[in-house]
Amino acid sequence: MRRPILLSTLLVLALVAVMLPAKPALAASILGFNSYGCTLEVYFSVAAGDPTGNYTVEIWDDYQLIKSATINVTGAGTYMASLLIPNPWPAIPGIGVSLVDPSNSYVDGVDPYFPDIDPTCGAGPDMVPIPPGSVVGEVKVDTPLYFAPRADALTGATLSAGKTIWVLGKDASGQYYQVLLSGNYLWVPANTLGPNDDEVWHGMPLPTTVVG
């Protein structure tokens, strides 16, 4: 006599499951990371229809919140949170990175992530938006960085061949690309960058939009 009761129970549960509305998918998501020196850059996208307001990137280690950064999202697009790593850096390898939306709801995360950083780093956040149409490109040859799109605007820093970097567009002359590095808008000669052939960008052409 137990089997009919069990079947009836399963039927009721199935009907309830069908009647419940599906939870809407959240489109905001973490795109990737860039880590070097004392900096961890976390890139995330927000789609049309996602809530606007303050999104928070959280770094967790061994159930402890060790760092967070908040950026104001005004609409659909790609954003970056650039975090200077706290001192001391957690001794346990691998961290968890979470993305939290304006309603304080967890929407995406990566765990574990193994950043390549200097364990003697200090602290402090820097967040900037990435314009729509920006693409991650690859540095094809070693190149100096410029604070303006002209030959006499050297910063004294360089980018090494093989590195990847956000490319935002060109200057009016077409001779320089604007790039985003550690929360700073900088410039490199246009002939030093090319498409990034990794599994995310698949050689997407660099933007030709005039910026700056």
**3-state secondary structure at position 133:** coil
> Tens digit of pLDDT for each residue in 82-116?
887 665 555 556 788 999 999 999 999 998 888 77
Angle subtended at Cα 100 by Cα 135 and Cα 86, rounded to the nearest 5 degrees: 80
Residues of the chain with pLDDT under 50: 1-25, 120, 122-126
Full DSSP string of 81-125: EEEEPPSSPPSSS-EEEEEE-TTS-EEEEEEEE-----TT---EE
Q: Which domains does the chain have, with CATH numbers?
A: 29-130 (2.60.40), 135-195 (2.30.30.40)
Residue 18's alpha-carbon distances to 4, 21, 22, in angstroms, are 21, 8, 9
- 186-204, pLDDT tens digit by residue? 999 999 999 998 877 888 9
Q: How far apart are CA 184 and CA 79, in angstroms?
A: 13
Could you tell me the two tokens for 1?
Answer: 């006599």
